[in-house]
Amino acid sequence: MRRCEFITLIGGEALFVACPFAVGAQEAGRTYRPGFLLPSPRQAPAGLAFLDELRLNAFAEGENLIVIPGGFEATDDRLAERAATLINAAPDVIVSGPES
């Protein structure tokens, strides 16, 4: 498999996994578990805005949403360790990005 095909396949899988978050569709009785891998703290404006948007789309933390802990403030020296821990927690989706 060529690199381009592999990246397209992975991107398609990520879209499929994240689809319930993107469109606001929810399965009755299901708890969604997003994981974050960000260099900024949870209280950073971007993180708070993301969680606010989830709330606006009926994803309530403690009800049908559990944020997997440990992925915020992931610095370069501990990035691999935190990524491995996050993957082992088997989240529904992983949110990552630059420092905000």
Q: Does pLDDT of 9 surpass 70?
A: no
Rg (CA), the chain: 14
Give the 3-state DSSP-derived string for 8-51, with helices as H, strands as E and coil as C: HHHHHHHHHHHHHHHHCCCCCCCCECEEEECCCCCCCHHHHHHH
For the stretch 43-55, pLDDT in tens is 998 888 989 999 9
> Could you read off the pLDDT of 38-84 as tens digits, one per residue?
888 889 988 889 899 999 999 999 999 999 988 888 888 888 888 89
Alpha-carbon gap, residue 85 to 6, rounded angstroms: 24
What's the whole-number mean pLDDT along residues 19-28?
62
Q: What is the pTM of this model?
A: 0.66
Residues in CB range of 73: below 8 A, 6 or more apart = 38, 39, 40, 41
What are the structural domain ranges in the chain? Answer: 32-100
Percentage, residues of the chain above pLDDT 90: 33
